[in-house]
Structure formats: C-alpha cells, structure tokens
Structure 1
Amino acid sequence: MAGNSHGHTLAAWTGVTISTIGFCISGIFTVLAQPVGFVAGLVVVAAGGVVGLLMKAAGLGQPKEAARSGAPARPQEQSS
C-alpha cells in the first residue's frame, strides 16, 4: 500500500473522518433505541461523502493524472 497514493489526500481523510463520526452516532442511537438519532447519524455519514466530493472538486483530492497512472503526480510549475 505504501507504493501508491490511494487515499492520501485531505479530501479523502476528511470525508472518511466525518463518515466515521456519523457511523458512531448511528451506533450509539441504535443501542439507545432512538430512531431519530440513528437517522441523524446516517445523515452525517452521507454528509461525509458529500464533503469529500466537494473538497475533491475544490482541488484537495488526488490529481487526475496520478489517478490514471497510479504514480504520484508531479507538482505543476507556476509561472511568475
């Protein structure tokens, strides 16, 4: 796994963290037998996916060149 760049982005980590928190919320409310809290946790899980996609669209995800080749992308040169 160390040889590829799968999931090593801020967008991926943020989306997974939010989804994990939502999963924990749903689990707690399942044990407490509170359906409203359970559904609220599922909404947080879905929000984690949406946040991850939005962050990827904002440029915080893996570049498309690296995703196709499996190799890390080269940093782009900035013109001054």
Structure 2
Amino acid sequence: MSNKSATTSTTVSTQEPMDHSVEIGHGNSPAAWTCVAIMLVGTIVGCVAFTIGESATILFWVGVGIIAVGLVAGIAMKAAGYGVEGSKLKNTGH
C-alpha cells in the first residue's frame, strides 16, 4: 500500500478577468433564424417518421435532407450579407 493521500490538490491558474462589456452576439440574424426554422421543420419530419415506424424510412431521410437544406440556406444567406453584422442589415444596436 502507498502512503500517498487519496486526495489530490489542484492548482488554480490565475487568468485575466473576462471583459463582459463586449457583446458576443448570439446569431440573431435573418440567416440564423432561417437556418434554424428550416432545420426545425426537418427535425419534426424526422421525428414523425421515427414514431410511425419502419415503413417511414424514406420520410426520415427526407427530414435529414431538409435539415441539410437549412444548413446550406443559412450559410448562403450569411454569404449574401444577411448574417450577424452583414452588409444587408441595418445595425440598430439590438
């Protein structure tokens, strides 16, 4: 048997305090909302297919496809300037 203690001590590193005055943004943009809305529809389609049973395998994959379309739509809208701080948006400070 070892004479070492069962508890170990951890050292806490001191880091610079976090600057909370900088707004990080939470994706509140038309691109993000469109992406999430389309993906939500795909999730609902997939869940309905899952509850129906084995006969709805194709419907499940349709839901997965809708989720992929939502992701592509969000990326395309961001590239078009509808993302956070996009060129097509008026920055109202909200």
TM band (smaller chain): 0.7 to 0.9
Structure number having the greater helix percentage: 1
> SS of the counterpart of 1:6?
coil
1:16 aligns with 2:2: no
Residue 62 of structure 1 aligns to which amino acid in structure 2? V
Stretch moving more, 52-61 or 4-13: 4-13
Q: Using the TM superposition, give the Cα deviation of residue 58 of structure 1 relative to its aligned residue in structure 2, in angstroms.
A: 0.3
Distance in 2 of aligned mates of 1:18 and 1:53: 13
1:36-47 equivalences in 2 (<5 Å): 36-47=58-69
Q: CA RMSD in A?
A: 1.8
Q: Using the TM superposition, give the Cα deviation of residue 63 of structure 1 relative to its aligned residue in structure 2, in angstroms.
A: 2.9
Distance in 2 of aligned mates of 1:11 and 1:27: 24
Q: 1:7 aligns with which of 27, 30, 33?
A: 27
Distance in 2 of aligned mates of 1:29 and 1:62: 34
Q: Using the TM superposition, give the Cα deviation of residue 7 of structure 1 relative to its aligned residue in structure 2, in angstroms.
A: 1.2
TM-score between both structures, scaled by the size of structure 1: 0.73
Task: Look up the match of 1:30.
Answer: 50
The higher-RCO structure (CA 8 Å, 6+ apart) is: 1
Q: Using the TM superposition, give the Cα deviation of residue 4 of structure 1 relative to its aligned residue in structure 2, in angstroms.
A: 4.0
Q: Which runs of 4+ in 1 moved over 6 A?
A: none
User: Is there any run of 5+ residues in structure 1 with no aligned partner, and where?
Assistant: 65-73, 76-80
% identical aligned pairs = 33
Aligned length: 64
